[in-house]
Amino acid sequence: MRLSARELRCRRGGRRVFAGLSFELHPGEVLELRGANGSGKTSLLRLLAGLAQPSGGELHWQGRPLLPGDAAYACDMAYLGHLNGVNADLSAIENLRFAQRLAGPADTAADPAAALQAWGLAALAAQPARRLSQGQRRRLALARVWMGRRRLWLLDEPCAALDTAGERLFDTRLAEHLQAGGAAVVATHHDLTLTAGVRRLDLDASAPC
């Protein structure tokens, strides 16, 4: 498994966000996206998730060009943006069961109870999501990603609203994902405490002058 970008360009609203952006990501590695507000971290993640198209350059997955609507890639990857995608009317565990059903056969082995446990939410399983705090909702969204066991995680500010214990939990779960041969691209202002497999990409360096 390998994700690579070569001379990637992005324009939004008629303005250049970044250009000449290249990287490679291998199993067991996380690409940590850094950069000021507006430098293009979310824009890059959206390109990688297939939610937008680059204005130039190439993206490859497993050595093949990444084309719009690539079904195999969609099954390999999980994207979490700024929004948690939590249904306020369902309980925490119902949210995960619903996500499991939506994912279909690929996620039949997923375990919602284990996912809540892994993210410190076991005691809140029956709690309607509307009664969860922002940090608890973020943990629930991360539990959904974790439960899907996709090989590539694309995460936009995953630690937003998390407390210090939540940040540590995130680092632990991410390290386990990498040790299991997964990979991740993570936009974050939180300093990851992982000791191995971290690559950094500074979007400020690719931004227009």
Ligand X SMILES: Nc1ncnc2c1ncn2[C@@H]1O[C@H](COP(=O)(O)OP(=O)(O)OP(=O)(O)O)[C@@H](O)[C@H]1O
Q: Which residues contact 117 (CB under 8 A, 6 or more apart)?
A: none
Farthest-apart Cα atoms in the chain, separation: 51
Question: Nearest distance from residue 5's CB to ligand X, in Å?
Answer: 15
Q: Which residue is nearest to ligand X (CB)?
A: 13
21, 30, 39, 158: residue in contact with ligand X (rule CB under 6 A): 39
Per CB under 6 A, 84 contacts ligand X: no
Per CB under 6 A, 17 contacts ligand X: yes
Per CB under 6 A, 37 contacts ligand X: yes
Distance CA 65, CA 208 (A): 26
Nearer CB in complex with ligand X: 17/48:
17
Question: Nearest distance from residue 137's CB to ligand X, in Å?
Answer: 18
Grouping H, G, I as helix, E, B as strand and the rest as coil, residue 120 is coil
Q: Which residues contact 156 (CB under 8 A, 6 or more apart)?
A: 41, 42, 45, 80, 81, 82, 187
2, 22, 38, 134: residue in contact with ligand X (rule CB under 6 A): 38
Nearer CB in complex with ligand X: 42/100:
42
Question: Nearest distance from residue 17's CB to ligand X, in Å?
Answer: 5
Q: What values do phi and psi take at 70, rounded to 5?
A: -65, 105
Query: Of the listed pieces 11-19, 57-65, 104-112, 115-123, which binds ligand X according to CB under 6 A?
Result: 11-19
Nearer CB in complex with ligand X: 39/95:
39
Nearer CB in complex with ligand X: 39/100:
39
8, 42, 124, 186: residue in contact with ligand X (rule CB under 6 A): 42
Contact 154, 45 (CB under 8 A): yes
Which two three-digit tokens encode residue 71? 């079904």
Query: Of the listed pieces 20-28, 38-46, 120-128, 138-146, which binds ligand X according to CB under 6 A?
Result: 38-46
Which two three-digit tokens encode residue 9? 């360009």
Contact 169, 120 (CB under 8 A): yes
Per CB under 6 A, 35 contacts ligand X: yes
Between the CA of residue 31 and those of 17, 74, 107, 128, 187, what are the distances in Å? Answer: 19, 19, 25, 34, 8
Grouping H, G, I as helix, E, B as strand and the rest as coil, residue 124 is helix
Per CB under 6 A, 54 contacts ligand X: no
What is the binding site for ligand X (CB under 6 A)?
A: 12-13, 17, 35, 37-43
